[in-house]
Amino acid sequence: MANNLRGPRTILVQTTIPTTTDDWSIARFSLLVRLLAEQRDAQGQPAFKVIARDRDPGDGPDSVLSRLGQDGIDVLWLMAVDTGAGLHAGECEAIERFRRRGGGLLVARDHMDLGSSVCGLGGVGAAHHFHTVNPEADPDRQVNDDTATGYIHWPNYHSGRNGDYQELTVAGPVHPVLADPASPTGAIRFLPAHPHEGAVSAPQDEPARVIATGRSLASGAQFNLAVAFERSEEHGRAIAQSSFHHFCDYNWDTAAGCPAFVSEAPGDGMAGNPAALRDVQRYVVNAAHWLAGR
């Protein structure tokens, strides 16, 4: 890992698109960034130094991602909001070198081919399934789950409206990312819902497992929410997340607004259940500490 000494770990929260007002740019993840920056260690000092940015404009390599691991960054939260061209081959190679040095990585994407450039990443890329790239192996899953938004095709698991929450199922032993001593179950129970989540799975040749699943409100199908990659001799820890909407301002608080192309009516479940927001915040903090090796 880039920083093994005591002190704040540096977390880079980055999108795969240049700054675009009417899109899922980094400004729409401000509550996530603020939450990470507010965390304190046992001495009351900042637990994390947080850098939040969009990718550089233009067609060239991103100035930060292309040299990741050379600049003191310990953990990358990659919000893959592109439509297929978000990461260059050289950036994927730099992220691979970063992981080999022990860096932590969270990769979140969404429906259909949204974020499919992450398939160029070793290991974690194979955990993400899209419509035209690395689809789910089971042909029975290559069908539209959410049918209300006709122009969005599979994978598009319907866990609920933006602004609502979904109840997750813990898969296997409770993973540290899901642990919550204050919960009646000992684990996080809720994550934000989204009308059309993407698909993730645990690659068989990796030290990875599914840690949480959800259930479609449209079809009743179970689908994976998160896959955790344990530290190995070759790589640092990682998480593959089914949707970046688990971390969006809009999905935590719909009053934050959304891009104009979002056509679905929002819900108000998160606003009406403080336990749901507390759970997603706990999930974020747990994931940040776990990815940083703490």
Answer yes or no: are the C-beta atoms of 203 and 235 closer than 8 Å: no
Distance CA 8, CA 116 (A): 32
Total domain count for the chain?
1
Q: Confidence band (pLDDT; 50, 70, 90) for 6?
A: low
- Predicted confidence (pLDDT) per residue in 164-209, tens digit: 999 999 999 999 999 999 999 999 999 999 999 999 999 999 999 9
Residues 64-82: pLDDT tens digits? Answer: 999 997 778 999 999 999 9
Is residue 77 situated within a structural domain? yes
pLDDT at 294: 67
| Helix, strand and coil percent figures for the chain, each rounded to 5 | 25, 20, 55
Name the residue range of residue 69's domain.
Answer: 9-291
2 domain-assigned: no
Q: Is the pLDDT of residue 277 over 60?
A: yes
In a domain, 70, yes or no: yes
Is pLDDT of 1 > 80?
no
* Nearest in space to 243 (alpha carbons), one of 134, 81, 43, 108: 108
**Cis before 207? omega within 30:** no
- Does a structural domain hold residue 89? yes
CATH of the domain at 45: 3.40.50.880
Mean of the per-residue pLDDT values for the chain? 96
Tokens of 222: 């179970």
Residue-wise pLDDT tens digits, 36-51: 999 999 999 999 999 9
Q: What pLDDT, in 10s, does the model give residues 114-153?
A: 999 999 999 999 999 999 999 999 999 999 999 999 999 9
> What length does the chain have?
294
Per-residue model confidence (pLDDT) at position 7: 78
Q: Is residue 1, in this structure, part of any structural domain at all? A: no
* Sequential DSSP letters for 7-32: SPEEEEEEESS---TTTT-GGGGHHH
Q: Is residue 281 part of a domain?
A: yes
Is residue 4 in some structural domain? no
Asked whether residue 67 is assigned to any structural domain, the reply reads yes
Largest Cα–Cα distance in the chain? 52
What would the two tokens of residue 247 be?
A: 């971390």
